[in-house]
Structure formats: structure tokens, C-alpha cells
Structure 1
Amino acid sequence: MSESDHAVPSAPNARDAVRALRPSQIREVANAGFGVENVLPFWFGESDRITPAFIRDAASAALTAGNTFYTHNLGIAPLRAALAGYVSELHGSTSAEHIAVTSAGVNALMLAAQLVVGAGDRVVAVTPLWPNLVEIPKILGAHVETVALDYGESGWQLDVERLLAALTPDTRMLLINSPNNPTGWVMPRDDQRTVLDHCRRHGIWIVADEVYERLYYPHDSAAGVSGSAAGATSTDARTAPSFLDLASRDERVICVNSFSKAWLMTGWRLGWLVAPAALMDDLGKLVEYNTSCAPSFVQQAGIVAVQQGERFTQELVRDLQTSRDHLVRALATVPGVDVKAPHGAMYLFFSMPGANRSLELCKSMVREVGLGIAPGSAFGPQGEGFVRWCYACDTARLDMGVERLRHFVARHGAPH
């Protein structure tokens, strides 16, 4: 018997690309809150309000009617038609043949990446950024390079020339999230046009994560609230500038969206893609091999959200802007906090004493004062030095959180 016959088997590990993925530091902070009484959780990106009743009722009715079977891979025809109408109203003519329904926005991002990215491909992402976007291409064996936003007196801004320099002809895909999680940065229309023209010349795919497009505040509503993203205007004030406003539906642009934010449907896991019609047959295969289809009764609820939810969404955005303005003013009174009001999304991404070690800082705040916010390092190295606070809740709850932050800063000493 040879020596090799007695070799010890290697450990049953996942492949290297998966083992190298970043774990969620937001979840790590949340885990630190288990067992801590009365924690105020502002760490996750969702409202503290439940999905509105008219959407829940539609799902209940669909279940009662027996909508529990498989559907078309790309979504039921009535939902694709409803989404085509919705997108057309906001961004110009769009047909159902350019719409695919997905099992959540994050599933849409994975599908988009699977469509156009493979092992060894080069991907560029604008950061700080929700970690899923940066890590998804890595699962597929792609190499991801980042271009960081800059932070200054006017908030978060993109150096467009630096981004263009990174978008070399060997780049396969550009990932842009606007309005941005975590910073709230909104990409101005002129910058979108410049980047789109550049990507057209070099054949680079743009995957635009626009799930926060309806959470857009183009004009500050409160005196004393400083904003960022100057020049970020939309032809429709209800939505942030979109690549769909500029690109034809059959070029190398894929826009990702979700029901989670505009209709408070985070737990429903329903999203959609707007993509070239030529991709749809192959996209259908990918959906089949990933999830087969989104649940039928959830899609029925999605139709009602799109067709009946406009008033609700506009009221939600007004409430969020009120909460944003309130929290900015309150945080500005805490010693050492530097905060700017962004024009989009549902977060403040601000600096404070100790944020240069943001994960350790956020764990300490959970343990010591019961305040749960997300560390900036969760959004990549470019986010270190900041923390993220989701303000999608009532102002009384925000005030409680600010007082806990004030006590924490006072206990550890504010900067001189």
C-alpha cells in the first residue's frame, strides 16, 4: 500500500472565491445587540412601518384564490405590463419585453451579473457601497476595482474624470448605485450622460442599482439643512435621475429595481430588471436555474402596489424627508458629529468621534447605550471613518437615538 493511500482528505471547504467574501458587518453589529434590552435598531435599511394594507389585502386575496403555482420565469404578464407602464411614466417608453420580474432586488443584481460577467472579467464599482454589489461579481470569479466618492463641505461627490480613467477598454461592467446606499449621493444627469457616452464607446455594460430612485429629495425643505449632490435633477421630480432617461432600451444598460423601498415590501422579496429584449431568453434560463420564478401571490400584490400605490409612495417620501431633516438638525448638536443632508435614499452617513474604527465603535454603542447603527467599514474601506443611520422611522424614535448617542459621546469624551 502506497503512502498516498493513507493521505488525510483535505477539509470540506467552500471554494476560495466564496471563502474570500466579506461577511456582513451590519449583521455582526446586530448580533452584538442580542440580549441587550431596549436596543434602538437603526442599522438595517428598512422602515419600521409594515407594508400598507391595500398591498397585504391583495396578497391575501390572491392566496384565497389559489395563486400558489409556478409562473413564467420572467413574471406574470399583468405584472410585467404594469411595470412597463410605471417605468414608461417615469422614464419614457418601455415595453413589457424589456421587463423581467425577479425574486427581490438583490436577486436581480445577481442575475444581471450572471448575464454579463464571468471569471477574470474586470468590474468597476463606485463606493462606498452596499457590500452585496461589490461581492456578487467576485462570486462569479470577476475582479472588482473601486472608485471612491469624495466627502467635503457639500457632502458626497463623484470625481467623474477619475471614474472615466478607471473605465478602461478592458472593463466589462460598471456598477453604480444612485441614490446611493449608504451615502445618499445622487448622480447628476450630466454625469450620467458623460459616463454613458464613455461606456458606449468602449462597449462597457452599465448595471445601475436604482432601488432608491423614488426616495429622492431634490430640494431641501428645512432651513439650516445643508445638502449635497448639487445639480442632481430629474425631468420628473418624483424620481432621481436614471440611466433609463438617457439610454435606449436595447443598449448595454441594465437597471435594477425593487418593491422593497417605495412600497415598504422588504420581506416580500420582489424586484425587477429593465434590460435589452435580446437578453430576455437567456435571462429566463438564469431565473429558472436560480429561483424558477417569483411567487404568484406576491406578484399579484406587486400589481396592486404599482397601479394603486402612487399616493402612498409620495406620502412616504414626504415623511422620510421630514425625518431626514429632523435627524440632521439633531445630530448637528452632538459634539464631534459632521453630518450633511443627502438628496436620496433613507440614510445619513456621517462622521463622529471614534469612527475611524467604526465596527468596534458601533458594537460599543450597542452594548453601552443600546444604540444600533451600521459601521462605515461595512460598505468597504472607503466607508471607514463614518457610520450609517437609517432614518425611516418617526421623529420621536430618532430623538431617543440621538440622546443615546449624546450620552455615549459624553462618556467617551468629545474631541477638543
Structure 2
Amino acid sequence: MRQAILKLEESRIREVANAGMGREDVLPFWFGESDEVTPEAIRQAGIASLQAGETFYSHNLGLPALRQAVAGYMSELHGPVEPSRIAVTSGGVNALIVAMQTLIDAGDEVVAVTPVWPNLTAQPVILGARLRCVALAPDADGVWRLDMAQLLAAVTPQTRLLVVNSPNNPTGWTLSRAEQQQILDHCRGTGTWILSDEVYERLYYAGDTSNGAAPSFLDLAEPEDRLVVVQSFSKSFLMTGWRLGWLVMPPSMTPHVGKLLEFNTSCAPVFVQRAALAALELREAVTPGIVAHLKNCRDTLVPLLQALPGIKTSKAPGGMYAFLRITGYDDSLHLAKRLVAEAGVGLAPGLAFAPEAEGWLRWCFASKDVKRLEEGVRRLAHWLPRQ
């Protein structure tokens, strides 16, 4: 067995979740998904496809109609994007690994901005790349920021790939358009590819863009720039379990991604793609309501947490998480397990996302009922004075 695989660490988020799954007295906020089901019309589109007997293989790159619809959706948000730049994948994580398989060889240097969802840093290691991390840092108010000079110094002509997730999981940090322009210009000069995970782009609450989405590299880049953007139906359409995502890439790269998809998953299931088509057709009826509700969840949870003694957190401009620190607790994995066992609150440990996030906890606020969030805070408030 390869040493890179033997050395892979199991998910610390799963480690905490496994300690509390099945317990009715635990409120789970550990995973990055809403507790609200996929909208009925989207589910019915998938059911109708199955009932019509669409149980066969489809094109490696996705149904032509779906690629066209995704391209139209991206064009509405970011300017012209042709279907020839789109590949449909079996989830955002599949999109990420296929993009990395396309772009990096063993021994290549990959730079990643952390803390970040652990899959983004594990995948280059699985492929044998040399990983370097540039860490965000929190200020006194719990707002995480990027040292741009540090990042640009880390990305050199020897850097094959830069991995960025914005809006960021777990911190909610979001690149500004000016910062994206700096990064794009710098990477053009070094010949570095950018892999931008933008699956949270619609979950953006700052309101400083004309399209309501977070700033995207697609707003600035040319079609043949060394840029690959990862997207997913999971967050903005409440479709986490359907496992469907997509890539936006230079058109010259698309046929090669199609070859890799054949050797990874062959294709995404047709009934899932039909559901995605319905999701895109209903996007103005579905996504704005999801975003408004999540903003209300954030605006309910964060002030309640900030009112508790010894807790530092902030309102993130994007994503679906509150990232918090409790004074006096430096071992986030131990603390998360204690909160499950003693408070009935399930949070993700910061250490799961990077060493610099040790001592922090991630709270997913994507809850159908904000009273569930309020109950979680009540339980935490009851637990804190007893320590």
C-alpha cells in the first residue's frame, strides 16, 4: 500500500460525529449541510427520470442539456461561459480530484490557503504533490484575514497549482475582487494554475456585488487563463446527497477532463442530472430564499454566541458557518467531544481544517428552524459555567 495513503488521517469531523450519531439528545451542527430536504419539484424531476427508465450511462461530460443550462447559469452570474468549458461531475469533491488529476504530477508544488475543508489539502498529497500552506490569521474580533504579500511570495514559477476556497469553509473569509485580480495577475506571471473552490459563492451576505454572489475569478479571467473553478449543486440548491457538481475550465482542457471522468466515475447518473436541470430552471424560486434564510440563521446565531462570556466569533460574509473560539480551550478535538458528551451540542473541531485553526470550532448554522440554533446556544451557555 502507498505510504501517502497509509499516512492519511481520518476525518476529525467524522470522529466527533461518530461519537454522537444516533443520540437523540445531541443537536448535530458538525457537517456542512442543511437539515432541510431538497425542494419537492427538484425531487420529483429525479423521480420522473427514474420512472421514465433513464437508468443508463450518459455522456462523460454530462447531459448536453445540463451543460448548456449550467453554462447559462454561469453566464448570468459572471459573463459569457460556453458549454465547451463545462464538465458535470459526481459531486464537488469529484470535481476537485479530477481537476487535480488533470493538472498536477507527483512531485509538483501545490500551494493552498488554509484553514480549509481537509479534502482540498489531502487530495494533492494523495497524488504525490508537495503541499505548502499559506495560513489565514484571525484578528482580535475573530475575523480571518489573508496576508496577500505572504501568499504572493509563496507562489513562484515552481508552483504548479494554487488552491483557494472562497467563501471559505470553515472561516467564511471571502476574497475581494481586487484581491482576486492581484492573485490572477501574479499567477499569470508565474504560470501557475488556480483551482478555485467557489461552491459557497451564492451563500454571500455582504451585498456588495451586482449579482448577489461572492466575487469570482470568472468575473476577471479570460477563457484560456489557467483557471479552473469548482461548483456544486449541494449548498445553493439543498442537494448535498445527490452528489452533483461541475467544473468551469479552459475549453482546451475539457476533452482531457472527459477522459479522466471515464476512469473515475464514467458519468453522473441521469436521474440526478434531470433533478439538477429542474434546480436550474427553478433557481430564482429556490436559491434566493435559501440565502435569505441562511443569513437570518447567521444573524440569529452569531450575536447569541458573542453574548456568551469567553467566546470569540464574527459574522462571516459568506458560507454557512460560525467559526468560534472558547477562551481557555486549546484542544479542539477534545473540546468537541466533550460538548457532544456533556452539552449535547455537536460541532466540528478546528484542527480538522488546519493546525492554525486548533482551538477553534465550526458551527454549521444551516438549520431549517432557528430555534434549533437558539437551543444549541442555550445548551452551550448552560455548560460553560460548570467548567
Give TM class, smaller chain: over 0.9
Which of 360, 365, 371 is the aligned partner of 2:339?
Answer: 365
Which consecutive segments of 4 or more residues in structure 1 shift more than 3 A? 34-37
After superposition, where does 1:92-171 map in structure 2 within 5 Å?
92-153=79-140, 155-171=143-159
Q: Distance in 2 between matches of 1:131 and 1:69?
A: 33
Aligned twin of 1:400? 375
Once the two structures are overlaid, the 10-residue window that deviates more, 187-196 or 18-27, is 18-27
Displacement of 1:234 in angstroms is 2.8
Q: Distance in 1 between matches of 2:82 and 2:255?
A: 16
Which of 352, 371, 382 is the aligned partner of 2:356?
Answer: 382
After superposition, where does 1:1-400 map in structure 2 within 5 Å?
14-34=1-21, 36-153=23-140, 155-219=143-207, 233-236=208-211, 238-393=212-367, 394-400=369-375
Displacement of 1:35 in angstroms is 5.7
Q: Distance in 1 between matches of 2:281 and 2:356?
A: 39
The residue type paired with residue 321 of structure 1 is K
Contact persistence 1:189–1:234 (CA under 8 A) = no
RMSD between superposed Cα atoms in Å:
1.0
Displacement of 1:37 in angstroms is 3.8
Q: Which has the larger radius of gyration?
A: 1
TM-score (norm 1): 0.91
The residue type paired with residue 403 of structure 1 is R
Contact persistence 1:105–1:269 (CA under 8 A) = yes
Q: How many residue pairs were aligned?
A: 385
3-state SS in 1 of match to 2:246 = strand
Once the two structures are overlaid, the 10-residue window that deviates more, 150-159 or 80-89, is 150-159
Identity %, equivalent residues: 55
TM-score (norm 2): 0.98
The residue type paired with residue 185 of structure 1 is W
Q: Distance in 2 between matches of 1:371 and 1:292?
A: 40
3-state SS in 2 of match to 1:356 = coil
Q: Distance in 2 between matches of 1:195 and 1:251?
A: 12
Displacement of 1:153 in angstroms is 4.0
3-state SS in 2 of match to 1:70 = coil
The residue type paired with residue 245 of structure 1 is D
3-state SS in 2 of match to 1:137 = helix
3-state SS in 2 of match to 1:49 = coil
3-state SS in 2 of match to 1:278 = coil
Gaps of 5+ in 2: none
Q: Distance in 1 between matches of 2:159 and 2:35?
A: 40
The residue type paired with residue 377 of structure 2 is V
Displacement of 1:22 in angstroms is 2.3
Contact persistence 1:235–1:241 (CA under 8 A) = no
Gaps of 5+ in 1: 1-13, 220-232
Once the two structures are overlaid, the 10-residue window that deviates more, 142-151 or 74-83, is 142-151
